[in-house]
Amino acid sequence: MKYDRQDVIEKATAFFWKKGFHATSMRNLQEVIDMRPGSIYAGFGSKEGLFKEALQYYANAGLERLAACAEATPSPLEAVKDFLKMAVSKSSPLPSDMCMLVKSIAELTEDNADLLAEARRLLGTIQNALAELLTQAKECGELDESKNPQRMARFLQMQLMGLHAYTRAYTGDIQVNELIDDAFACLQ
């Protein structure tokens, strides 16, 4: 049976993001991606292999959104701020209010050491992309020369993790936008 690999990964990503790795059974995957177990194993090696590709797809989509934000404004600092606002916006329905990478890191144990390491690596990749934009912001005078872009990227990533949890507890984009503004005020 022929299948569209990209479509399968997109559907699997949404389902893993919603349910988590452990709560997703092979039977669930079969129904969601419309493939038999043999085809899943032939195409992805295992449930773990498909999950790893779903993590990579999710991270790449985030990096693409960050790049689009950078392309949409001449200000690297505004691009980072827009990315954070987009990441926690309630304007479009998402499978989960939590970042898939953070949710996976919280769920996975050393029993799934390879997947845990991959989720951490991908989170680091996004952090590095944020740091690159913050370096650009520093170079064009948007940030004080004494600021460390890598440290600021860690701070913003931590803020983003907290904002995801906050949006689960409270509603309203206005409150979230104010909190993002407060986080950026701490950087300057």
The answer, yes or no, to whether residue 80 has pLDDT greater than 80, is yes
Residue 5 CA to residue 12 CA, distance in Å, equals: 10
Region label for 89, one of left (φ > 0), alpha (ψ between -120 and 50) or beta (otherwise)? beta
The answer, yes or no, to whether residue 183 has pLDDT greater than 80, is yes
pLDDT value of residue 165? 83
Contact present, 163 and 141 (Cβ < 8 Å): no
pLDDT value of residue 3? 76
**DSSP single-letter state for residue 112:** G
The answer, yes or no, to whether residue 1 has pLDDT greater than 60, is no
3-class state of residue 1 by DSSP: coil
pTM of the model: 0.91
pLDDT value of residue 95? 74
pLDDT value of residue 89? 77
Burial class (CB in 10 A: 0-12, 13-18, 19+), 168: exposed
Q: Where are the domains of the chain?
A: 58-187
CATH of the domain spanning 58-187, picked from 2.40.160, 1.10.357, 2.30.42, 1.10.3470: 1.10.357
Contacts of 52 (CB under 8 A, 6+ apart): 114, 115, 118
Spatial CA neighbour of 44 closest among 61, 57, 60? 57
pLDDT value of residue 92? 62
pLDDT value of residue 168? 77
The answer, yes or no, to whether residue 93 has pLDDT greater than 70, is no
**pLDDT tens-place string over residues 124-171:** 999 999 999 999 999 999 998 899 999 999 999 999 998 888 877 876
pLDDT value of residue 172? 62
Spatial CA neighbour of 137 closest among 35, 69, 57, 54? 69
**pLDDT tens-place string over residues 52-78:** 999 999 999 999 999 999 999 999 999
**pLDDT tens-place string over residues 12-58:** 999 999 999 999 999 999 999 988 888 888 999 999 999 999 999 99
pLDDT value of residue 135? 97
What is the DSSP track for 10-78?
HHHHHHHHHH-STT--HHHHHHHHT--HHHHHHHHSSHHHHHHHHHHHHHHHHHHHHHHHHHH-S-HHH
The pair of three-digit structure tokens given for residue 68, joined into one six-digit string? 């689009």
Residue 33 CA to residue 148 CA, distance in Å, equals: 44
Stretch 166-186: mean pLDDT: 80
Q: Give, in degrees to the nearest 5, the angle at Cα 146 between 145 and 149.
A: 85
